[in-house]
Amino acid sequence: MLKKEEVLAVAKLARLELSPEKEKKYHRQLEEVLGLFKKIEGLKLSGVEETSQVTKLKNICQADVVIYDQNLRPQGAKENFSNVPKTDSDMIIVPQTIKE
């Protein structure tokens, strides 16, 4: 059973100013939440494997690896440079933007 002081301490940590009605409401709700933790403590979980997610989805993104040689990239140099106006072997040529 929670004490009134404990509920007020939690409210203070959350920077909440509670009216007497809200105090009673949150007191009841906090006790319910703590009751759920007691139920969880009573579960026998030995032999149950840990899970980080339950949907069994797999990450299908390309690894974030820097590859300087365009011919080694998954798409190949031809496809990587297909929308580039000017190239020189494996480099993109861009117009000069800063003049000395």
pLDDT digits (tens, 9 = 90+) for 80-95: 777 888 888 778 889 8
Domain of 30, CATH number, reads 1.10.20
DSSP state of 28: H
User: Can you list the alpha helix ranges (DSSP code H) found in the chain?
Assistant: 4-13, 20-41, 77-80
The whole-angstrom separation of Cα 4 and Cα 23 is 8
The residue segments making up the domain with residue 21 are 4-41
Angle in degrees, CA 27, 32, 34, rounded to 5: 95
What global pTM score does this model have? Answer: 0.45
As a whole number of angstroms, the longest Cα–Cα distance in the chain is 77
In a domain, 96, yes or no: no
For residue 93, tell me if it sits in a domain.
Answer: no
Does residue 19 fall inside a structural domain?
Answer: yes
pLDDT band at 2 (very low <50, low <70, confident <90, very high): confident
Q: Is residue 15 part of a domain?
A: yes
Q: How many structural domains comprise the chain?
A: 1
